[in-house]
Amino acid sequence: MRVVMLGAPGSGKGTQAQRLQREHGMLQISTGDLLRRAVADRTPLGMKAKAAMDAGELVSDDIVLGMIEERIGQPDAAAGFILDGYPRNRTQAADLEKVLEKRGIAIDAAVLMDVDFDVLMKRLTGRRTCSATGAVLNIYFSPPEDLEACRKAGGELVQRADDNEETISNRLKVYQRDTAPLIEYYRDKGLLKTIAATGDVDDVYASLKRALGLG
């Protein structure tokens, strides 16, 4: 299955894609994660992307297209994938279609994670990633035992550089301006599935699985 995850920053795309990967063996491809790795490794691509990411703006379409083409071409993506954070505007959506067409494949579903905007700031300022396990956690919402499990694994709770209020505000504006139009784009193609994503992580996961026909 090939799935696009749509939704505002903090809507839970990464959290749910990680879980589908863990429990259903579906490959998560996150352009945000790929870009953050490139920045951390100080690759030429990472150096080009950094300023846009720090400002909460989109990295250029060409950079992400190259990354996504390369990732989709790897053997572990042959059986399907979940695109988390790509496409982010109409140009990227058209680019993606062309990349998939060349391979004779297509997107099966685009899932919109529908969240009340007022919860996003708290989710994003509270987000932490475990340095040992890579788990995405939250100091306000994660069960204490999950936060403790990170410490027990020898990890630290790390905050993303772009999870400060100023950058978050801009990321939300960019989402409304550039990415939200993709809701209509995928609706017109008959691929859109909308799930309520404001509730508890487990409830959202159950809705997501139902939407994808995974039981």
Just list the catalytic residues.
13, 88, 127, 160, 171
Helix (H) or strand (E) holding 194: strand 192-196
CA distance 27 to 75: 11
Taking CB under 6 A as the criterion, which residues in 129-168 touch ligand AP5? Answer: 136-138, 141-142, 162
User: Is 5 in a helix, a strand, or coil?
Assistant: strand
Q: Is 133 left (phi over 0), alpha (psi -120 to 50) or beta?
A: alpha
By CB under 6 A, name the one of 59, 96, 109, 150 that touches ligand AP5.
59
Q: Does 7 bind ligand AP5 (CB under 6 A)?
A: yes
Q: Give, as one character, the DSSP assignment of residue 75.
A: G
- Residue 75 dihedral angles phi and psi, to the nearest 5°: -55, -35
Considering only the stretches 39-47, 95-103, 123-131, 151-159, report the one whose residues sit in contact with ligand AP5 under the rule CB under 6 A. 123-131
Quote the least distance from Cβ 85 to ligand AP5, whole Å: 3
Binding site for ligand AP5 (CB under 6 A): 7, 9-15, 31-32, 35, 52-53, 56-59, 64, 85-86, 88, 92, 123-124, 126-127, 136-138, 141-142, 162, 171, 200-201, 204
